[in-house]
Amino acid sequence: RLTTPADGTEVLLTGEPFAGAGVSVVAAPGSDPATIQPGDRVVAVFGRPIEDWAAALLSPATSRPSIQPGDAVVYSLERDGRVVDVTVTAGPFDPAAALSEDWGVLVLVLAMLLVGISLYVRRADESATRALLVIGTGMAASTLPWGLGLHVPDLALGTTFWLFALAAGFAYSLFWSGVLHFALVFPGRHRFVGSRRRLVAIAYAIPIGLQLAAIVVTGIATGRTLPALAAWVDAQAVVQVVVIVVALCLMGSAYWRLDDPASRIQLRWIAGAVGLAALSGMLLW
């Protein structure tokens, strides 16, 4: 991201960023917001439809554009039911402005990462600390690229899109897999887990597997790439809700079978925190 010129816009990653024939965009932090208006969707860039650029992500032989600071880039925008051309000028990327809007989340994920590292260092033999290390690492590795943003030219450049997808897709899925892993083994392994390490492996396979299945099935059914990317975003939302519900159920089941008062207190704190985070996230995010 630091070596790729910015165009003053970024893809709006909430809601439906890849719906229809284009991608939703907003003015990037620190840029002139006059060029981009709320509700704008980019349907073409560099004279080529966004759907074509998205489809070319799977074609390494595709000729890619070169963007330098000061270059003028013409976007075709869908705005109020009509298509208009807007020229944006590429300039240096400002990471401080991009990350300043997400400083609260960055503080949170840094705290999660430090907790995961410190507990793993102290008790590396505990399965729960390994899960916490995965949780902290997955959240940190996905949140920083998320804060730096996905830009429309990334779809044309290819490499930067795949780097973003690796972080916002795979690393973020590891976070939710780690949550499942933790719920299966804290404060002790569930009875049905026992020595079945395969169940823990399945916990890591399910979140990413569901997303990949949604992408592939939608891509085959529609014959288009943008709907497949939209399915990826929708599948992530489904994974989040499912993992939270399953984790709370597992913690509730563990709580009622525990006889040790100290373990019950531990689990009560964790389950309460997860429940509060889930409720506030769904209401406010």
pLDDT band at 138 (very low <50, low <70, confident <90, very high): very high
Rounded distance, CA 252 to CA 239, Å? 20
Please tell me whether the overall predicted TM-score, pTM, comes out greater than 0.75 for this model: yes
User: What is the rounded average pLDDT of the residues 240-245?
Assistant: 88
Cα torsion through 42, 207, 58, 6, rounded to 10:
40
Looking at residue 30, its pLDDT comes to 66
User: Two tokens at 273?
Assistant: 């925190």
Helices and strands, counts by H and E, the chain: 10, 6
Give the DSSP per-residue string, 216-272. HHHHHHHS-SHHHHHHHHHHHHHHHHHHHHHHHHHHHHHHHH---HHHHHHHHHHHH
pLDDT in tens, 45-73: 888 898 998 888 888 888 888 888 888 88
pLDDT band at 174 (very low <50, low <70, confident <90, very high): very high
How large is the C-alpha radius of gyration of the chain?
21
pLDDT band at 176 (very low <50, low <70, confident <90, very high): very high
Indicate the burial class of 137 (C-beta count within 10 angstroms; 0-12, 13-18, 19 or more). Answer: buried
pLDDT in tens, 182-220: 988 887 777 766 666 788 888 889 889 999 999 999 999
pLDDT band at 136 (very low <50, low <70, confident <90, very high): very high
